[in-house]
Structure 1
């Protein structure tokens, strides 16, 4: 089992992250620390594999704690969690060896993706004395084959997405009369489940075809989308 330490000063966020960890196979919660001092004490007493580390906390912040961990050569991995998306801060965390960076508020799907990728790499590297170049390429999501010089790089959909469904969802988006739309709007128009549509809209947001906003109201937050007027050509290479 992969032992996880949550370092978060907000009790509600800590409780939510705890629930997320407890839903995942192969992970076990080692503890919850409200500040860096508590985290340091816990790590001195218990072996931890992965830290879910908030950046902004009273006293020493998460980036400084990550730097301290590296200076002390602690054998632990870190995923940073923060409400900020400052580029300089992200660059600092990557230079210090953070394996992922989650920006609040995030959904369970993104949390699940981060920890599943970590689990995959963890077991790959902890059960072998050596790895090949091809295995390392797969771990770091690289492809060993490259297109011939001068040839366009083919655009491939992420695993689990298909061109036919993407085409159907795109037609529903283009036929939508309102500037802003939700997952439910497209799911109803395309006659596709909301869970499936959400995956495609997330992908289209990641490539810049859609703009995504998180709207807070009564109940759970709702994602709103709109077409990015200057980047509508992007989708053509995927269809």
Structure 2
């Protein structure tokens, strides 16, 4: 089992990570901590294979923790799960050895893809003493390549209509605000908006409006 430590200061996101992790075979959650200092203390005493790591945290931020982990625990891998989306933060994380970078808010499929790719990579590297170029290309690095294929259920005509309406929005919006303008169900519309986030046409972020669960807000990025 791959032992996973979640380091996330937002309790709701931490619970989301825990719930998603339970749905994927081969992983064992060994702890949930809310800052980098506690994470280092935990790792001194417990075996950890993989960190799911936020950037913005008190006491010791995620990028500083990542740098320390690379020095002190070189065998521990790190997947960033964070709202930090600046190119400098992403570049720093990758240069310091993060193996994947998931931007909040994210869908289960993106989380699942990152974990399953990591699991397959670890299985391959532990089972084989030597790897062919085909195995390296097909089972380690190729999975990180983007595909231009449109997901099932995304119709181009509808996508163009949504894109046209989204461009007219002068401020960040949530799914429900666009439902009467588009004429799709909330679930169907969210599928299109999440796809536009994936391909870089929209930015998304979590916003808290009083009590209750956070709301995903979208804004056009071009």
Scaled by the length of structure 2, the TM-score of the pair is: 0.73
* 1:65-144 → structure 2 map (5 Å cutoff): 65-138=65-138, 139-141=140-142
SS where residue 140 of structure 1 aligns? helix
Change (3 A) 1:215 1:3: closer
Per-residue Cα deviation, 1:62-115 (whole angstroms, up to 9, x for no partner): 212211121235211001233322221211110011011223333333322322
Cα distance in 2 for residues equivalent to 1:27 and 1:142: 20
SS where residue 97 of structure 1 aligns? coil
Scaled by the length of structure 1, the TM-score of the pair is: 0.69
Per-residue Cα deviation, 1:101-154 (whole angstroms, up to 9, x for no partner): 2233333333223222222322222221121112212221279xxxxxxxxxxx
Q: Does residue 8 of structure 2 align to residue 8 of structure 1?
A: yes
Decide whether the 8 Å contact of 1:2 with 1:49 is kept in 2.
Answer: yes
Change (3 A) 1:2 1:171: same
Unpaired runs of 5+ residues, structure 1, are: 144-154, 229-239
* Structure 2 residue aligned with 1:166: 155
* Structure 1 residue aligned with 2:195: 203
Decide whether the 8 Å contact of 1:3 with 1:27 is kept in 2.
Answer: yes
Q: Does residue 158 of structure 2 align to residue 157 of structure 1?
A: no
Unpaired runs of 5+ residues, structure 2, are: none
Per-residue Cα deviation, 1:184-238 (whole angstroms, up to 9, x for no partner): 849x8579x946x655543344435x4354575575625657696xxxxxxxxxx
Cα distance in 2 for residues equivalent to 1:74 and 1:36: 16
SS where residue 65 of structure 2 aligns? helix
SS where residue 28 of structure 2 aligns? strand
Decide whether the 8 Å contact of 1:50 with 1:77 is kept in 2.
Answer: yes
RMSD between aligned alpha carbons?
Answer: 3.6
Number of residues paired by the alignment?
210
